[in-house]
Amino acid sequence: MRAVLSGRFAVILSGELIQSLFHFLLNILLVRELGAHDYGLFAIVFAVGAVGITYIRALVAVPATIHVARSLGRPAALGYDVMFGSGAVLVSGVMATGVGLVLIPVIGLGALAAGAFVGLYAFRSYLRIVLLARGRPRIAGLSDLVYAVCGGLLVARWLNGEGTALLDRAFAAIALAHAIAIAVAYGALRERIRFSLHARARARYRAIWRTLAWSLAGVTSLTVQGQGLTLLLALLAGPAAYAPIAATIVLYAPLRIPASALLNMILPEISRLLAAGQVDAARRLVIRNGILLGSACLAYGALMAAALPLIEDILFKGRFADQPMGWIGLGVWAVVTVSLLYAIPRAYLEASAAFRTITAGAVASAALGMAVMVPVLLLLMPPATALVGLLSSEVATLVWSVSAFRTLARHPRPARPVGVL
C-alpha cells in the first residue's frame, strides 16, 4: 500500500500500459492488413521475443534484482550492475544472431530486423527490471513512453505495402524504437552501457554459477512449459491456423499489463523482506496480490465473453468468422488467468532462490501439456482443441507453485548475506 500511495506502482503501471497499448494496436493493424500466414509468422516471432525475455529475466534480470535490491547504497551495487549488464548484452546479442540466422531462409533479409527486434526487446526488458530494482521507476516509464511514441511514429511512416515487405517494415520499426528507448534511458541515467569481462566480473559469475545453472534449467523447463508449448502449437498447426489464436491472445494483453507491473514492483520488495527475515510480511504480500490478480482476471474474462463477437467483427474485419472464436476466447482466457495466478507465488520462489523446485514443477507440467496437446494435433483435430493441453500444463504449474510457496513460507530458508543467492 505504501508503494501504491507513493505513486510508484502508478508510474510502473503507466509504462506497462503505454507499451502494451502500442503492441495491441500494432497487432490489430497487422491482423487487418496481413494475410493469415504472414500474421501468423509475426505472432510466432513475437512469441520468440517473449521466450527471449524469459531467458534474460532468469539469467540476468532476476539475479540482478535480488543482488541490487540487497546492495542499494553499497559499492557492491555498481559491481553487480556492471556484471549483469555485461551478461545482458551477451545474452541479447546471442538471441538476435540466432533468430536472424534461423529466419533468413523463411523471410529473407527481413530476418535481420526480426533478430534485432528480439535482441533489443530482451535487453530493454532487462533494463526496465533493473531500473525498478534501483528505485528509478520514472526512467523506466520514460523509456516505455519513448518506445511507444517512436514505434507509433515509425509504424505510421513505414507501414505500407503488403505481405513480406510489410512484415519486414514492422520488425524494423519496433527494433529501432527499442534501440531509441534504450538510448534515452541511459541518457536519463547519465550513464553508458557498462560492458566488462574483466577478472572481477568473471569471479562474481563464478561465485553464483550453481544458482545460475539451476536458473537456466528452470527457465528452460518453464519456457518449454509455457511459451514452448505455445510455439509448438503454432509450428504443428501452421501460421494460418495459429493466427486466430494469436489474435485472441492479443486481446488479453490488457490483462497482463497491471499483472506485469505488479510483478516487477513486488519482486524487489519480496527479496528485501526475505533478506531482512520478514517472512510473514513477504507471505502476506504474495497472498494479497494473488487475490487481487484473481479478481481482475474474473472481471476481465466476463467483459471479454460479452464483447468478443463485436471485437471479432469490427477489429478483425471478420477474418476469422469461420473459426470457433467463442471457444478460442474461453480457452485463451483460462490459460492467461492461470498463468497470472502462479506468477506471484513463483516470484516468491525466485526471491528464495528455489530454482530446483521451479525446475521440477515446470518439467512435470510441460510433460503433461505435451502428452495432452501433441496427440490432439497429430489426430488432426481443430487447433483450438489443443488449448486444453496448454491449460492442463498451466493448472499443474499453478498447483505446484502454490504448494511450494506454502511449504517454503512455513519453513523458510536461513537468510543469506548480500551477494549470495
Task: Enumerate residues 6+ apart whose C-beta is below 8 A from 210.
Answer: none
pLDDT, mean of residues 129-146: 82
Q: For residue 6, what pLDDT is reported?
A: 47
* 350-359 confidence digits (pLDDT tens): 788 777 788 7
Report in angstroms the alpha-carbon separations of 379 from 180, 193, 233, 242, 332.
47, 51, 13, 16, 21
Amino acid at 376: V
Least confident residue range of 6-20, 89-103, 312-326: 6-20
* 348-381 confidence digits (pLDDT tens): 887 887 777 887 887 788 778 777 777 766 665 6
Task: Enumerate residues 6+ apart whose C-beta is below 8 A from 401.
Answer: 342, 345, 346, 349, 358, 361
Predicted confidence (pLDDT) at residue 325 exceeds the cutoff of 90:
no
Predicted confidence (pLDDT) at residue 153 exceeds the cutoff of 50:
yes
Q: What mean pLDDT is reported for the chain?
A: 77
Of residues 380 and 43, more confidently modeled: 43
* 182-206 confidence digits (pLDDT tens): 999 988 888 777 666 666 666 666 6
What percent of the chain is predicted at pLDDT more than 90? Answer: 6
Q: For residue 180, what pLDDT is reported?
A: 95
Distance between CA atoms of residues 406 and 346, nearest Å: 11
